[in-house]
């Protein structure tokens, strides 16, 4: 399994599938929003939690179509489906590789982008915590969407339409954690719901993704 994870990480770096593209998009969004909304610090501080979470969501979405596409094109996916390793474990490794190359860099760079949007200092810890807790759900849900569209030509648009509605709860509760944390309000409910979404996605969706892949490969 470690060899598969290492292989996926190398492919993601070589193909430009997540690391550089996601960070560049995240940075561009953080730079353009103040230019469009205006330089007022109060306005930017108010919308910063939602903007940062929307940016993270869209950055994760950019590389979803590559999760299984390269393996499907060269026949590796058929070999993985018939390997002694459970396909559910393969899907989990794919989701982990996507998070390591897309979600984790976004978590690490988010405080810097928070400065550009004048995020209140009290919200930085909650921003990092919410992204660290919520971005794994984005990767797992995205892996399920990629499994649904594997083998389809130009399935990127369909993948986006399938995945975006599933991303909405994570977006809502993730932004709510940061927003309430910035105001000094209680965040326990939003944080628990965000964690529940991630735990549920990690526990259930790898099995659903493996089932979908088996059906698509028949």
pTM over 0.75: yes
Burial class (CB in 10 A: 0-12, 13-18, 19+), 39: exposed
The pLDDT tens digits along the chain (218 residues) read 677 777 767 776 765 555 677 788 888 888 888 888 887 888 888 899 999 999 999 988 888 877 887 777 777 777 777 777 788 988 999 899 899 988 899 999 999 999 888 898 889 999 999 999 999 999 999 999 988 888 777 667 788 888 999 999 999 999 999 999 988 889 999 999 999 999 999 999 999 999 998 888 77
Q: Residue 35: count other Cβ atoms within 10 Å of its Cβ.
A: 8
In the chain, where the domains are located: 2-216
Please count the helices (runs of H) and the strands (runs of E) in the chain.
10, 0
Which tokens belong to 9?
A: 């990480």
Which tokens belong to 196?
A: 């529940």
């Amino acid at each position: 399994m470690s060899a598969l994870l290492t292989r996926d990480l190398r492919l993601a770096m070589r193909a430009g599938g997540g690391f550089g593209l996601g960070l560049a998009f995240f940075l561009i969004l953080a730079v353009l929003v103040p230019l469009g909304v205006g330089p007022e610090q109060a306005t930017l501080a108010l919308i910063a939690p939602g903007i940062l979470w929307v940016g993270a969501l869209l950055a994760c979405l950019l590389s979803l179509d590559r999760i299984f596409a390269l393996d499907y094109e060269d026949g590796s996916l058929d070999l993985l489906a018939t390997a002694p390793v459970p396909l559910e474990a393969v899907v989990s490794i794919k989701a982990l590789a996507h998070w390591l190359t897309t979600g984790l860099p976004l978590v690490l760079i988010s405080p810097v982008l928070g400065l550009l949007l004048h995020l209140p200092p009290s919200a930085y810890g909650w921003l990092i915590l919410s992204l660290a807790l919520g971005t794994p759900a984005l990767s797992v849900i995205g892996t399920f969407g990629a499994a649904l569209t594997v083998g389809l030509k130009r399935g990127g648009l369909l993948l986006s339409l399938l995945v975006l509605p599933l991303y909405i709860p994570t977006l809502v509760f993730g932004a709510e954690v940061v927003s309430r944390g910035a105001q000094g309000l209680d965040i326990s409910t939003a944080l628990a719901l965000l964690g529940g979404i991630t735990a549920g996605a990690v526990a259930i969706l790898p099995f659903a993704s493996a089932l979908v892949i088996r059906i698509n490969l028949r």
